[in-house]
Structure 1
Amino acid sequence: MTRDEVFFELMESIYEVSRITSIYESIPRKYGTDDELYMVEAHTINLIGDKIKTNTSELTQLTDKTKGAISQMVDKLVKKGLVLKYKNPANNREVIIELTEKGQQVYEYHKALDKMEYAKILNRLDEFSTDDFEKFIKISSILSDITRESLKNK
């Protein structure tokens, strides 16, 4: 196959992974509590847990989502008792977001689950070297940058 043909196949493969991931993300799951959470909620909990304390602006930067979308997500998590939201005593205009004890439980469960799942995937990728992974990361990063640029131009 030519370089162009291989690249076309790579792009089709990436689109297929994206479609399957989208379906996978749309199924609610339990992450160590009785609450059913969508993957986007679990990943938001991970971002908050990784930062310990954060705010809407920081989450907006980390996720490339709007402040409104992040606020809605955080409000859902507050209603589920997974996140606390309160005014920063040092800056009354800033709202601090952190995990509750229950949110911490989801965070730890999800981190352990990711570790297990990633290990399974890594075992299936034995034929690929660290260098192969680094090249794929570089390609993915370039594709993400190009896609972000396209979004800005819309």
Structure 2
Amino acid sequence: MKRDEIIFQLMDSIYEVSRVTSLYESVPRKYGTDDELYMVEAHTINLIGERVKTNTSELAELTKKTKGAISQMVNKLKKKDLVIKYKNPTDSREIIIELSEKGKQVFEYHKELDKIEYTKILNQLDEFTTEDLSKFIKISSIISNSTKKSLVE
């Protein structure tokens, strides 16, 4: 098979992964509590949990979303008692965001769930070497960076 044909197949495969991931993300799930959360909510909880304390600006930068979109997400999580918001004692203009005890429970549950799911995937990749997987990461990064550049052109 020619190199350009392989690239077309690779891109088709990536688009299919994107479509399936989008479908997967659109289904709400429970993460160790009675709350049903969408994947974007669970990932926001992960970002907050990894930082212990954060703010909307940092979350917006990490997720490439607007501060307004992040504020809406954080408010949804606050209504579900998953995050705590309070003014920074040294800078009253900044709102600090951290996980509540319930949010920490979701954070830990999601981390364990990821380990289980990623192990299932890894077990299906036995034919690939660590070097093969590293090369795929490099290829994915190149494609991702190229796509990002297209967004700003």
Assess same fold via TM > 0.5. yes
The DSSP-based 3-state class of the residue aligned with 2:95 is strand
The equivalences for 1:100-115 within 5 A come to 100-115=100-115
Q: Which residue of 1 aligns with 2:148?
A: 148
The DSSP-based 3-state class of the residue aligned with 1:34 is coil
Name the % identity. Answer: 74
**Distance in 2 (alpha carbons) for counterparts of 1:11 and 1:129:** 22
**Distance in 1 (alpha carbons) for counterparts of 2:141 and 2:66:** 21
Alignment TM-score, normalising by the size of structure 1: 0.97
Provide the aligned C-alpha RMSD in A.
0.7
1:128 to 2:140 alignment? no
Greater than 3 Å deviation, 4+ residue runs = none
Q: Which residue of 2 aligns with 1:38?
A: 38
Displacement after TM superposition at 1:152 (Å)? 1.7
Q: Which residue of 2 aligns with 1:2?
A: 2
The DSSP-based 3-state class of the residue aligned with 1:65 is coil
Structure 2 residue runs of 5 or longer lacking an equivalent are none
Q: Give the AA of the match of 2:103.
A: G
Q: Which residue of 1 aligns with 2:29?
A: 29
**Distance in 2 (alpha carbons) for counterparts of 1:85 and 1:147:** 35
The DSSP-based 3-state class of the residue aligned with 1:125 is coil
**Distance in 2 (alpha carbons) for counterparts of 1:59 and 1:67:** 8
The equivalences for 1:4-83 within 5 A come to 4-83=4-83
Alignment TM-score, normalising by the size of structure 2: 0.98
**Distance in 2 (alpha carbons) for counterparts of 1:105 and 1:51:** 15
Q: Give the AA of the match of 2:28.
A: P
Q: Give the AA of the match of 1:52.
A: V
Structure 1 residue runs of 5 or longer lacking an equivalent are none
Displacement after TM superposition at 1:55 (Å)? 0.6
